[in-house]
Structures are given as C-alpha cells and as structure tokens.
Structure 1
Amino acid sequence: MAVVVFIFMGACSSERNTFTNRTFHNMTAHFNAYYLADVKIKAVENEVRANYKEDFTQILPVFIPIDSLTIESNKATLDSARELSSKAIDWHRISKWVDDSYFLLGKIDYLQGQQDDALNAFKYVNSMGKDKDLRHRALISLLRLYVDKREYENANFTIDYLSKETEINDENRFALFKTLAYYYETRADQNGVIGALDRAAPYAPDKKEESRINFILAQNYQRAGLDAMAHDFYRRSLDGNPPYEQSFFATLYAQQVAELNATKDLKRVRNYYDDLYKDPKNKDLKDVVVYEKALFEQKQGDTPLTVDLLHQAAKEPGSNPRLKGYIYQKLAQINFEEFKDFRATKYYLDSALTFIKEEDPVATEIQEQKTTLDQYVFHVERIQANDSLVVIAALSPEEQLALAEEFIEREAERLVAEARAKEQPKNSNIFNNLLAFSGKDPGASFYFDNGVAMQQGAIEFNRVWGNRPLQDNWRRRAATFQTSTQQELPSTSPDSLSTAENPILADLPTLESLVSKIPNTPGQIAQLNAELEESYFELGKLLYFDLEEIEPSIENLETLIQKYPNTIRKPEAYYLLYLSQKESGGNYEQYVGRLNREFPDSQYTYSVNNPDAASGNLAALASSRGYEEAYKSYYEGAYPQARQIVKSTLEAYPLTKNTEKLLLLDIMVTGKLESRFRFKSRLESYIENTKDPELVSLARNMLRPMLSSEELAALAPKDSVAVDSTQLQASPEVANEEKVVPADSPFKLNESQTHIFVVALSRSDADAAKNLLSDLENFHAANYPNARLRTGNMNMNAENAIYIISPFANAEKAKEYYLKFSEEFESEGMPETAKSGAFFISIENFQTLNKSKNLEEYRTFFRTIYQ
C-alpha cells in the first residue's frame, strides 16, 4: 500500500518527466480541466447563437455577432472556464494539454472583448504550439481578430501565411474559409464573400450550418442580379431541416427570383402574396409578406398603394422588430424623394430608430440623415406654434375664450371618434335576436354598457347645460342666490368628464389651462416674434444649403423681410435671396440694389458687387496683406489712406476670414473722420451682425464711452471684458499648429475649401482599366447614393490620364472618401499602384497642379500634410 501511495505522489509531481508522470498529468489536465472548460465555453457560444435573432430581410452576417449582454450574464461560467484552463497550465505543465488550454484562454478573452489579451494568447499558441492543427486554429482565430480590428495589413499577412500551410484538416478549412468570407464581408467585396463561402460549404460540420451558408450565398447572388444562381442556392438552403422562418424566406425569395420579378401577370403575383398572408403558418410573418408586396408595388410605380401597404405592414404582427424599422425607413425615403415632405420624413426616421438598435450601422446612417431634418422640423413647428399664438394674442378676451371652447369641443369629439373606432361590435346572440323583433338595431347594446354612448351623452349635456352639479332643481335655484357676482370663466372644462367614469377624456385640457397659455404681456409677444424671426431665417438657410429646395427657401426669407423689416439678419437674407434667385433664373438684381441702398458697408454688398471675386486661400492671404497695410496706415494717422485700402481690399476679396476685421477697422476710421453719432451707429450695427465673439466684445468696449448710464447698465456682464484693439493686428492666415506646409511647396493648405479626388494612371494603365468610370459610378451608388458625386476624366499630360471625383465640401469629407476608396474600391485592370497613389486636392491647388503637371510634387505635399 505504501508503494502505491509513493507512486501516486510521485506521479502528482509536475516537474518529473516520466511516463507515469506524463500519463497522469495528461489524463488529469484533459478530463479534469481542459474538457470541463471547453464544455463551459461551448455552452456560452451556443447561448449567443440561440439568443441571436436572424434578420432574413437583410444579408445574414457570416459570423453571428457576440452579444455583450449574453457574455456579461455568463461571466461566472467564463470565469470558471478561465480558472480550469489556468489550472491545466499551472498544475499540469508537462501535459500535452497546456497549449490547448492557452488557446481556451484566448477564446475566453475574445468572448469578453479583451482583444489584446486574446491576441497574445493566439500568438503564443502559434509560436510555441507543437500540434499543427492547434496552431492552424490559433492562426485562424488571429485572422478573425485582425478583421474585427480592421487591421487589414496584418490580416493579409496571416492569410498569405495560411495559404502556404499544408495538411489543414477539414474543421480548420471550414473555419478558415468562413473567416475569409468575413474578411471580404467587412470590405464589402461581394464576389470575395461568395467565393469563400462556396469553398466553406463542403466542410460545414452539420446540415444546419450548410443550410445557413447556402442561404447567405443565395442572398449575395440575388443582390448581384444572378437570379438563376440565387434560386438554386435558395432551394439548397431548404435542405437540412432549417428553422421555419429561414424556410419561409428561402421559399419567398426563390419564388421572387424565379417568377415574381419576371412575370407580366401582376394579378398572379398579388394572389401569391395574398395566399402567403392567409396561410396560418405565417401568422408571425404577416408584416414580412405585406412589406414584400409593398416593394413589389413600388417597382410597378404605384406609390400610393406602396405607402398604404407599408402602413399596413407596420401594424401587422411580426417576429423581427428590426423589420418595423426598415418599414419606417422606407416610408421616410418615399416621403423625402417623392413627396418632399421633410417633416414626415423626420418622424418616420424617429420611428425607425425605436426598432433599430443604437449600435446598428443602419441606426448611424439614420442619425446622420436626421441631423438636418431635426433642425428643419424644429423651426417649422416653432413657426406654426408661435404664429398661432401671436394671432390669438391679438384677439379680444371674448374671442380667445370662444376659441378655447371650440378647441375643447373638437378635441372631445375627436377622442370619442377614436374610441368608437376601437370599439369592437359584440357578437350576435339570442338577446340581440330578441331585440330585433322589438324593432331595435340588433347590433346595438345596452346604453349603460356602451362607454362611447355615455361619453357622447356627457358631452352633449355639458354643451347644452354647462358643468352643473348633480342636484335637485330647488337646491339649484336656492344656490343661485348665494353665488358671487364676480364674473368667472364659464367652464366647459371636462373635469367632470375626466373622472374614472369617463377615462376616454382624461387627457382633455381645461378651459382655464388653455386660456392661461395665451401670451398677454409685451415681453411674451416680443419673445415669440424673436423666435419667429430666427426660425424664418434659419429655415431659409437650411432649405437653400442643406435640402437644396430653392423656392421654399425664397418664400421663408421673403416672409422674414416682410414681417420683420428691421431684422438684423436682413443683409444676409438679401444675400441668400440673391443667390437663390440667381440660381433659379429669377430677378436677383433687385437684391443687389437693396444691399447697396440699405447696407453699403456690408460684406454681402461687396460680394454681390464683385461676384467673380477670388476666394479660398489665395484670397485670404491677399486680404490679410491688405488688412495689415490698412492697419499700419491707421496707426500712422493716415486715416483716408487706411479707408481706401480697406475699401479696395473688401471689393477685391469680399468674403474671407478677414472680412469682419476689415469692417471693424473701417468703423475705427469712421471714429476718426466722421461724427460721433455715425461712429456709434456703425458700432451698434456691427455688434448686431458680427458672429466673431472676440470682435463683438472689442466693438462693445469701443461703444461703452458713448453710452448713457442706462445703456451701460443694459450691457451684459460678459460684454464688459476689456479687449485691447491690438487684437486686431494681422496674423498669418495660413498658420496651422498641427500641419506645416513645406516652405518650398507651391501648394497651400485650405481644408475648408471644396476638394476633388484624383486617380492618376499611365496611358497603358488607363487603356487596361476600361471599366473604371462605370465601377466608380457603381461604387458611389452603393456607398454614396445621396452625395451627388460626379466622375470624369481628362489628360493631365502626355504620360498621364486622370480620373476625377467631385465635389467634396472640405478636406475632411474628401479624406473620408479616400479611406473608403483605399479599403474597398476594386476595378478590373486598375493596378494597385494607381489605387495607392490616389489623392485628394483643393480646387485652388488643383489649378496649380494643372499648370505644373508635376504629380509627384503634389503627392509629396499630400503625404506631408494628410498622411
């Protein structure tokens, strides 16, 4: 017995590398640690898959996303698996399961989002592992991690390394091809996804996985317009007993690509959708059926029917909440593109976001689209509300009271009508039949059982008799002698209707609350008008610049000028009207005249007087030099000369970053050459119209000595900060703290200027890349459908042809396009060197480049500044 104990104790040692020792540690590490840890990890992975709701209306993801909530809820399980894996390493160091346990630690780190730790674990297994299959698993896991992090250079290196490996087993081949499909999925390379999944399918571990892969292949073929291939793979995806929902979509889409999209028999197509709708097995998919039918009707050009069907689809039961989001997004698209109803578009997008998760890429896209629409709706609704309140405020008290009573009555009727619409007719029974013989409506019910009828009776009684207490006539007559003679608002308040007996009208406002909301002081009216003035102006700008709706922009700006002729925004409003009328072929000259008559010193006047004036970086530099010269003349006392320089600079370069400084310097000259009244008047106008807070503060400090004590008291404390006029001294406009332009470069840095994107090819490469223009257009249609990007080509010199994509509002927008182009754009025949040598360039710099023809000189500038 002692010998057995001694042998057992010797075998427990993790240091002695004997056969007995190794056998003991291999068995213990495998079954007491590794196996149990692996089971726990697989249980969590299975729960992630079970909790994920597939969205079959979109192309399915290659890998099911890891849900952080599921991982968090299984933290104890994963911690236990980590402890077991660590024990297999620490307690059984001579066993052959150490490397496998390190791999499990990497999987746990990956699931818990600890990417750096997972990266180190997989790298360790790859470099130190002795088992070839395990090393391959680690490399494939490493590849997926690189793709997650969008580290495509490391991913490409890993792919290249794995492509040279031999004897990869079937399990790892499946994982490798599936991860390759994921790699292409993140790069929006549809052909790559198809190719990788096609190679993965034969190695699928089970029929359900193979069925899902075939469904994804079918979806990609359908998006690519290869209907025959799509139909074949949809049919294949029905093998392997897939979930019913997948079978439903596979059958539906297979029918679409085979017949519905090609047939001329519209009645048969509509009957097909109607039959699907009636099938009881599809009770949780009714919204899908109606949505697909709506998309079909949209292809037929029947927009009203499409909208009706989309509204129906939104109300139908369904198992996928995201589909409701797509339905509202489609309604938003139709209202934006077909009806130009920006308000409805905004609210449909709001509804879409309630069904789509915040982290979903679709949600990000909707939020970006909503930014402008939110501002639009805010100003539209503020105009409607404030305009109504201003009109009501102008009425007599009696008229206001009558209006409030009428509103409450209409609201009550509306609420009752809504309740009636929801009231379900009772089933016919023997009592209904008996009532029928007595001449009564068999569908009617007992009065006091009918809530709607009682509400109508209460409203009618209130309308005729007012809000009376429930008492005998003699008590009511006696009470009249005790009432106060003080006049009160006649209450048609539904307080008595908003009790437990009348829940339908619970939210109806009282007459007193409505009347109290009517503005009745000059301050309140002034606030309403100030908000209206702002909203008319901002709405006009928004419509012109962001929504590109010229006529509504003109309407709002003209309303602003008509209603508020003394608005401080008038010069800019005139300028916007000038631009709008000029673009639409209207009478823009009238605004040139108005600006010259009413605002001769405005920068907008200088701009309309010189519409061909230079702009951009060169104009800023020139105006900066002019300002510096005028500033010097001012402090030397040469005031007329300073004024002349300011005027000539503003005429040549009317709208630059120096404009407001030039205008203030001109006012300072006025203080030296003209009357005190004129100086004060110009300062006050400047303060109202200038946007730069530092310049406004400086102007206020110039104004202070000319103000009375009452006017000084009215100044806000923040305006009393002393600012020295030396702040007006010119500073180099091209200075940039982060980016320094090389001294010998002919190119200038102006990131706010319009930019273009350039792909330069040699003559031979341009001949080989025959489809480049069409591929660019397809790329834009897929990724920038609303950006209005234009493509074109021209000869740069005898050696090079260039392809141009434009316009981009500034360098930031151009850089976003550059990054997406570098990562995702592909065109047959275009060499990789041309893709890596592409660049973006400001309009001004492009003019310089077009003169020098020196592409490498600009690329040097581009790399220095932007890369």
Structure 2
Amino acid sequence: MLSGCSQYSSSPGSVAFHNLTAKYNAYYIARFETELAERAMHKAYQDNYNQILPILMPLDSTLGISVRPQLENAIKKASIVAEKHQNSKWLDDSYTLIGKDRLYLGQYDDGVEALRYVFANGRDEDDKNTALIWLMRAYTQKGDYDNALDVAEYLRQQPLTKEATRDFYLAKAAVHQQQGEYLTAVAILEQAFPLLKRSPEKARLHYVAGQLYDRIGQYALAADHYRDVARNRPTYDLSFYAGMNSLQNRVLLDPKVDLTDVGFDKMLRDRKNNDLRDRIYYTMGLLAERRGRYPEAVGFLQKSVQVARANPEQIPYTYLELARINYDRLEDYETAQAYYDSALVTLPQQAEQYRIVSDRKKALDEFVTQISIVRTEDSLQALAQMNPAALERKLDAIIEEQEEEKRQLLLKAQEALAASNRPSASDIGTPFISGSERRWELYDPVMVNQGRVEFRRLWGNRPLEDNWRRANKENASFTASAQNPNLNAAVVPPENDLGLKAETTLAKGSEAWVTRRNGLLKNVPISEAAFSTSEKREEDALYRLGKIYRFDLKEPEKAVTTFTRLLKDFPKTAYREEIYYLIYLSLDENNKNRPLWKEKLLAEFPNSSYARLLNQAQLAQDDKGGTLGGGFAAKTYDSIYKLYTAGNYSEALAQVENALAQYRENPLVDKFALLRIFLVGKVRGRDAYLQAINEFIRLYPDSSLLPRVQEMLEVTGRASTRR
C-alpha cells in the first residue's frame, strides 16, 4: 500500500492522491499567497503619466521587498510539490510559480532556471507555454531582446489558450515597446484588446495605446483610445490624464478649436482637481505653444510650477517644456539653460529624457558662456566706435536704466515681503503651513527652483564667491542677461551691489554718478591694442559656438550660420581650413553650396589634413572591404591616431566622428569607435566618457574589442566608488 502511494508511482490511485494533496496542501496556498503579493505590488506601483506607461508592470525587486514574506512563503509551499509530489499534474504549475516569485524578488537567475526547467521537462504543453511567456518577460526586463524575440517566435507557432494568447500579445508588445518600436508594439496591443474584459487594467492599456499612437503621430487613433479609457472603469487619475491628452489631440486635429471653449475654467474650479491643477495649466501651456502663442504658453507653464506642491513629480517635466520653448521657440538660451538646470535637480535619473537633458544642459553651459562673450564684445566694440560725447550720453543712459531696474527690484522685494507677512487662504492645509506661519521658503523645492531660474535670468551663471556683483573683474563678468542682449548688457556698474535700500539711488551728475561712469568707461576697448584683444575674444567665441552647434546641440544649420558670420567678420581667421571642412559636412547633400566649400578648401589648403579627408571620402565606398594593412580607412585611422598622440584632441575628435559616419560599413569601424572613447574622455569629461563606452557596448556587441571596453567601464566604476 505504501509503495502504491509513492510519488514515483504511475498508478491511477497514486496519481490521484498526489494530485489532490499537491493542489490543496501546497499549490493552492502558494498561488493564493502570490496573488495577494501581486495585488499589493500593483497597488504600490505608481504610474508616471509624464512618460509612456509600460504595457506590463516592471519586474522591480523594490516592489517585491514589501511583500517578501508572502513571496517566500509561496516559494516554500510550491517547493513542496517538487519535493513530495513528483507525479502530480501540478508540478509544472508549481515550478512556474516559483519562477515568477523569484523574478518578483529580483532573483533573476534562479527564476529563469525554474522557467527553463518547465520548458525542458514539462509534461503539459499549456504549462510550458505559460512558463515561456514569463521567460519572455524576464528577458525583456534584463534587456535581452534577442532571446525574448526567439521565445516569441516559438510561441507564435504553438496552439495557445485564450488566456495564454492574451498574455503572449501583451508580453510581445512589451518587448517592442522597450526597444522603442512603438508602431509594432501598438499593432500587437490592438490584437490583445478583444481578449480583455472590461476592467481598470484594460482602461490603462487603452491609455498606453493612445500614448503610443501619439508618439508616432497618429492623433486620430490616439483620440479613439483615450475615449475608450472612460468605457472601462478607469481610476480617476487615469480618466483625468486621458481627458487632458484627448484635449491636446482635439486641438491638433482641429486647428479652429477655440482654447477658451475647451473647458479648462470648469476643470480648475472643480474641487476634485485641486491636486491636478498643475497638470491642467501644463496642458494649457502646451496647447498655447502649438498655436504659436509662446509668451502665453510660458505663463501657463510657470503657473503650473507654482501650484504643483501636491504633485512634485510633475515639476521637472514642466521645467523641461519651459526650457524647450525658450530654446526652440524664443531662442532665449540663458533662460533655457536655467530651466534645464532646474529640471535636472528633480528629474529621476531613470527617466528616458535624463541623459538627453543632461547632455543638453552641459552643452548650454558652455554655449551661454561663449554667446555672452560674443554679445559683450560686440557691445563694447560698438561703444568704442562712438565719439566721446555720444559715448558719455550712452553711458549715462545705461546708468539710468540700471537705477530704474534697482527701483523696480526694491518695489518687488517690498511687495514680496508684505505678501509673506500676510497669510494666504490658498496656503491653508498645505504642507508649507504650520499654524499661522509659512514654512521657510528654502524648504520648498518649487520656490528654490523658481529662485534659481530668476537669479540666472538676471545675473547669468555666476560662480559661488564673495562680491560676485562687482564689475572690476575680467571681461567675463559682462555676461549679458537673457532679457537685454544689447549694448546695455555690456557694462556693469562698479561697486554696485544692487542693494534694496532706496537711499542708494544715484543722482545724475553727482560725484558718485561720475565715478560710476568713469568705471564703465575703463571697460570700453578704446585703444587699438584693447580693441584687437576684444576682437580676438569674439573670434574664438564664435568658433567655439559653431562647434557646439555642430557637435553638441546637433543643429547644423545654426552651425553654418555661425561659421559664416565668423568668416565674414574675421576673413583672415586661423580657423579657416577647419571651418570650410565643418561647413561642408554640416550642409545637406542636396545643398547647391556644398561643393563650393569643398572646392574652397582644396584650393586654399590643398595639403591640410581636412583636404585629405575629403579626398579619401570620395573613395570610401570602394574601400568597404579594406583591412588594416591597406585602404583609405586604415590611412584615415592612422592620421587621426597621430593627432591623438600629438595631443590635438579636439581636431582628432572632430575627424573621428566624421570617419565613423564615412566608414560605418568598414571592418575598422569599431577601432574608430574605441579611439573616439579615448578622445571624448580627453575633451568632454567623465560623464561623456561613460556615455561613449555604453554606446560602444550597445552598437558593437560582436566586436573583438568589447572585452577591453567592458574592462574600461568596470575600472571607471571602481574609481567612482572609491571616490
């Protein structure tokens, strides 16, 4: 009798006994504990509506920490089936459950091993397919998309149950979403909707589909899905955000829609939206921008920041929109730089925009420095060319304007002081009020960021030092403000601390006034030597600006404009040969002027390294099969490497980036990419160096140089840890 009940027996009685015992003594409890943990994790997971929502909840171990006891208990119970009920039909289900739970706990290798075991040894095809769907999710979470798609191709050929088909579509759509293939992802997602029941989860997937259609420019299809959200029992927040996105699409699809009739006023008055008012103003700002009303858009977005205390997650994305409008639409680069800086303070590092924003902000830091030099030197040179009487009148006008600005600052400060001493009804119940007193402003990240932006708007990017307002410093202190990039920005009053005391106002013609004017006059390059020095500073700044446009900001048209101005203002500049080359590369291939710049370079500098590069490019297509022993790719590499060993890093970096584009089909492309890593580290610093390493790993996974690059990444990481 005992041998008949063995877990290794295949007799009907033994199998029936172990099926019953496994299901109700182990598997049922394990599945129940897992379902409780999953519900808790879904409840704890917070969607970020500023990003495209993931189709499936990430397998994030941080979510599993709070439910670790339930998951570990589920693993323990499911393991009983594997230990004591080998002949049970619930064995495959138990291993799949163990794999899922280990993935939830972040035990990736153990989870994948359990799921693979089901595929290799499972007795039921449906159970094997379920395990493979979870294996797809595990591969996707780790970014192993090739293996995930291999599993998907296998499953596509299997007969799946309705439930497995639904899960398969969602898992495959998630793979393509993670890879940025939004059209494919939403096409697969469309196939899953008929298999989904009306539920909040289906509402959320309709919202994701709307976001994906938005991203690929299919606004009408996106609007259909946003409407479907309301038909599937959405949460209030999901319904609200779907409505906001639907309004944006309505304006895009019908340019005649009057923004005042959309219903924003009603939404702002609705008490249920008190915590979402920032998002309403944010949407109003986006719609105003799309209508070309940029100052109005900036006003709405600034209002969004002001009312965002209950929703701080929205703030960095509002700052990003403010930065983008100031950069792209208003071309107010200093203000854009300040907004990018504020966005980086609060933007999560895992956000998809973080690296792009970080790179743009670093580029703008240098950009603002150079453009300020250009504006300042232009202004000073214009002043230097005036006759003495006109120059004196101009300096007097500048002082008058500065005194008026001081009075306005005093008035604003007095108003702000009065407002801070007067309790506001809107502050009641906010976390910034304690009894009848306001919380100190420096504890409020919104106000801190607003102050940073306003400071940079008025003063530029000032170093942290004493007496930073003083003007008797180097010429770099003449940073032009974002609002006054004109002659007045070129001079700063000496010993002017712009204090807020009314008695500091100067009287025109007084001794202090004359002293101030004489101080300003010292900064004007009146002598021939000073004027030449000013011109050299402007020439160098224009050259750097053009390269920033070309390589960092990826704006070739503005790079060409800047380089052209440099050649016009300084026709004998020492940068001519490089500028000819960069203009040639920056112009579109169909531009009729492009060959002219090549001819100009070859005619004036036939023996330069840039001329050799252009000659080699003519034959690059014939060199695709070249090897290190010969061919133009090898010669180009050698010439760039010589520049590197000679310490001419900037020129070498420019040439290696162009060579990567020319020889992308050449076997030496990974060697160019490795050399680029070293050059980026020399020219652009540690962060750009790490980014270049990661780009190499992503773009050249089969390169024989990959182990060396990975070792470089590990060494850099260890150095960072020690630091």
Residue of structure 1 in register with 2:418 after alignment:
420
Question: Which residue among 171, 193, 203 is the counterpart of 2:195?
Answer: 203
118 and 275 in structure 1: CA distance in 2 versus 1, 3 angstrom threshold: same
50 and 353 in structure 1: CA distance in 2 versus 1, 3 angstrom threshold: farther
Q: Is 1:109 the equivalent of 2:115?
A: no
47 and 418 in structure 1: CA distance in 2 versus 1, 3 angstrom threshold: same
841 and 71 in structure 1: CA distance in 2 versus 1, 3 angstrom threshold: closer
Question: Which residue among 185, 205, 208 is the counterpart of 1:216?
Answer: 208
> Contact between 1:122 and 1:142, CA under 8 Å: does it hold in 2?
yes
SS where residue 53 of structure 2 aligns? coil
Q: Is 1:358 the equivalent of 2:360?
A: no
Partners of 1:83 and 1:141 in 2: CA distance = 20
Residue of structure 2 in register with 1:855 after alignment:
none
For 1:232, the aligned partner's letter is: D
Q: Is 1:137 the equivalent of 2:130?
A: yes
Question: Which residue among 153, 166, 173 is the counterpart of 1:160?
Answer: 153
For 2:358, the aligned partner's letter is: Q
Q: Is 1:87 the equivalent of 2:85?
A: no
Question: Which residue among 49, 59, 62 is the counterpart of 2:55?
Answer: 62
Q: CA deviation at 1:310?
A: 0.5
Question: Which residue among 33, 39, 47 is the counterpart of 2:40?
Answer: 47
> Contact between 1:333 and 1:345, CA under 8 Å: does it hold in 2?
yes
Partners of 2:320 and 2:581 in 1: CA distance = 43
Residue of structure 2 in register with 1:668 after alignment:
none
SS where residue 365 of structure 1 aligns? helix
Q: Is 1:174 the equivalent of 2:166?
A: yes
Partners of 1:51 and 1:178 in 2: CA distance = 21
Q: CA deviation at 1:571?
A: 13
174 and 611 in structure 1: CA distance in 2 versus 1, 3 angstrom threshold: closer
Partners of 2:6 and 2:18 in 1: CA distance = 9
> Contact between 2:59 and 2:141, CA under 8 Å: does it hold in 1?
no
Output aligned runs, 1:272-671, within 5 Å.
272-317=263-308, 320-376=311-367, 416-424=414-422, 517=466, 573=540, 576=543, 583-584=564-565, 586=567, 591=572
SS where residue 242 of structure 1 aligns? coil
> Contact between 1:234 and 1:254, CA under 8 Å: does it hold in 2?
yes
List gaps (5 residues or longer) in structure 2: 376-404, 426-435, 439-464, 492-523, 547-560, 586-604, 611-625, 641-653, 673-701, 707-723
Q: Is 1:248 the equivalent of 2:246?
A: no
> Contact between 1:125 and 1:135, CA under 8 Å: does it hold in 2?
yes
Q: CA deviation at 1:241?
A: 1.8
SS where residue 370 of structure 1 aligns? helix
> Contact between 1:753 and 1:809, CA under 8 Å: does it hold in 2?
no
Q: CA deviation at 1:194?
A: 2.4
Output aligned runs, 1:633-712, within 5 Å.
none
How many residue pairs match? The answer is 513
Q: CA deviation at 1:134?
A: 0.8
Deviation readout 1:97-152 (Å, 9 max, x if unpaired): 22222212211232233333333222221121111211111121222233334444
Q: Is 1:809 the equivalent of 2:639?
A: no
Partners of 1:289 and 1:753 in 2: CA distance = 57
Higher RCO (CA 8 Å, separation ≥ 6 residues)? 2
Q: CA deviation at 1:840?
A: 11
> Contact between 1:288 and 1:318, CA under 8 Å: does it hold in 2?
no
> Contact between 2:282 and 2:301, CA under 8 Å: does it hold in 1?
yes
> Contact between 2:288 and 2:296, CA under 8 Å: does it hold in 1?
yes
> Contact between 1:110 and 1:118, CA under 8 Å: does it hold in 2?
yes
For 2:100, the aligned partner's letter is: K
Residue of structure 1 in register with 2:633 after alignment:
747
148 and 415 in structure 1: CA distance in 2 versus 1, 3 angstrom threshold: same
Deviation readout 1:660-694 (Å, 9 max, x if unpaired): xxxxxxxxxxxxxxxxxxxxxxxxxxxxxxxxxxx
Partners of 1:189 and 1:35 in 2: CA distance = 39
SS where residue 95 of structure 1 aligns? coil
> Contact between 1:290 and 1:310, CA under 8 Å: does it hold in 2?
yes
Residue of structure 2 in register with 1:123 after alignment:
116
> Contact between 1:221 and 1:230, CA under 8 Å: does it hold in 2?
yes
Larger Rg: 1
Residue of structure 2 in register with 1:736 after alignment:
none
Partners of 1:251 and 1:73 in 2: CA distance = 33
> Contact between 2:214 and 2:222, CA under 8 Å: does it hold in 1?
yes
Question: Which residue among 166, 173, 177 is the counterpart of 1:185?
Answer: 177
300 and 562 in structure 1: CA distance in 2 versus 1, 3 angstrom threshold: farther
Partners of 1:100 and 1:577 in 2: CA distance = 64
SS where residue 275 of structure 2 aligns? coil
Q: CA deviation at 1:451?
A: 11
Partners of 1:525 and 1:32 in 2: CA distance = 82
Q: CA deviation at 1:864?
A: 8.8
> Contact between 1:109 and 1:115, CA under 8 Å: does it hold in 2?
yes
SS where residue 78 of structure 2 aligns? helix
Residue of structure 2 in register with 1:648 after alignment:
none
Partners of 2:114 and 2:47 in 1: CA distance = 31
Question: Which residue among 52, 65, 81 is the counterpart of 1:72?
Answer: 65
Partners of 2:230 and 2:31 in 1: CA distance = 32
> Contact between 1:204 and 1:210, CA under 8 Å: does it hold in 2?
yes
SS where residue 65 of structure 2 aligns? helix
27 and 304 in structure 1: CA distance in 2 versus 1, 3 angstrom threshold: same
> Contact between 1:285 and 1:318, CA under 8 Å: does it hold in 2?
no
For 2:96, the aligned partner's letter is: F
Q: CA deviation at 1:813?
A: 7.6
> Contact between 1:89 and 1:98, CA under 8 Å: does it hold in 2?
yes
133 and 296 in structure 1: CA distance in 2 versus 1, 3 angstrom threshold: same
TM-score scaled by length of structure 1: 0.50
Q: CA deviation at 1:309?
A: 0.5
Partners of 1:378 and 1:582 in 2: CA distance = 17
Deviation readout 1:258-278 (Å, 9 max, x if unpaired): 5674152526435x2212221
Give the share of equivalent positions with the same residue, in percent.
24
Partners of 1:106 and 1:171 in 2: CA distance = 19
341 and 49 in structure 1: CA distance in 2 versus 1, 3 angstrom threshold: same
Partners of 2:545 and 2:232 in 1: CA distance = 68
For 2:270, the aligned partner's letter is: D
For 2:127, the aligned partner's letter is: L
> Contact between 2:136 and 2:151, CA under 8 Å: does it hold in 1?
yes
Q: CA deviation at 1:173?
A: 0.8
744 and 33 in structure 1: CA distance in 2 versus 1, 3 angstrom threshold: same
List gaps (5 residues or longer) in structure 1: 1-6, 385-406, 428-449, 453-515, 541-548, 596-603, 617-650, 657-739, 755-805, 819-835, 843-862
For 2:230, the aligned partner's letter is: L
For 1:300, the aligned partner's letter is: R
Residue of structure 1 in register with 2:428 after alignment:
none
Deviation readout 1:549-602 (Å, 9 max, x if unpaired): 9x9xx99xx98x9669899x989949949999862165566645xx7xxxxxxx
Partners of 1:841 and 1:173 in 2: CA distance = 45
SS where residue 285 of structure 1 aligns? helix
For 2:628, the aligned partner's letter is: P
Between stretches 40-49 and 412-421, larger displacement belongs to: 412-421
